[in-house]
Each structure stands twice: as structure tokens, then as C-alpha cells.
Amino acid sequence: VQLQASGGGLVQPGGSLRLSCAASGFTLDGYAIGWFRQAPGKEREGVSCISNSDGGTYYAKSAKGRFVISRDNAKNTVYLQMNSLKPEDTAVYYCARDPYQCEAVVTGTNSWIDYWGEGTQVTVSS
């Protein structure tokens, strides 16, 4: 099982980025996939998740209205479109597999995750 996040970079406040999470070694449509982030000195927090059962989506309060998660099962890829980015969005972003239908993001308990991908750095700065 592998998850590879990409698409991070340096962007100005108010800008946009689209992160991609490419999955391999398993069939994406069998699992929920979540996005998490970790800023320096802070705990890793859930940002968004998309379920596989009904395509339901979940967002942290900080992401709601600005971020959009989507999945393309044919490409085995999950995306996170991030708009109206703020300096406080600066963090390393990780995608992860959640066998329990987004429980990690919904409950804030990362132990529900069974596989983590390597992160991609997002820096929002002028």
C-alpha cells in the first residue's frame, strides 16, 4: 500500500493549490481517504475526508467553504482543491487511508488511519 501526496508549493495569501493523492497497492474505491496537515510545533489535524460508500465529504471548520475534496477512482487519485489560502494553512499536508469511513477526520482521532502517505509542503506567504 502506498499513498503519495503532491502538488504543494509556495503560494500567496488568497491563492489556490490543488493537492493530489495517488494511491497504489489497493483499490481506492474500497476506502475512505482523508487529508491531514501538520504545522511546526502542532499536532497533526484532519482537514477533509471523502468516503467510498456514498461519496460523502467531511471538512474541518478551518477548511469548510474554502477546500473541496474529490476522488477519481479510475485514476486511483484523491484531490484537495484549496482556495482562498491563508498563512495559517501553512503546513505539511498528508493523505491517508481510513478503513472506517472518515472516522479519523470526523472524531479527530488519527488512530483510525491504517496507512499514511508522505507529505507535501504547503507554504502560504507573501
pLDDT digits (tens, 9 = 90+) for 56-92: 999 999 999 999 999 998 999 999 999 999 999 999 9
46, 60 in Cβ contact below 8 A? yes
Percent residues over pLDDT 90 in the chain:
83
Q: Which residues of the chain have pLDDT under 70?
A: none
- Asked whether 98 and 112 are in contact (CB, 8 A), the reply is yes
DSSP assignment, residue 74? G
Work out whether the CA dihedral 118, 52, 70, 47 comes out positive or negative.
Answer: negative
For residue 80, how many other CB atoms are within 10 A of its CB?
A: 26
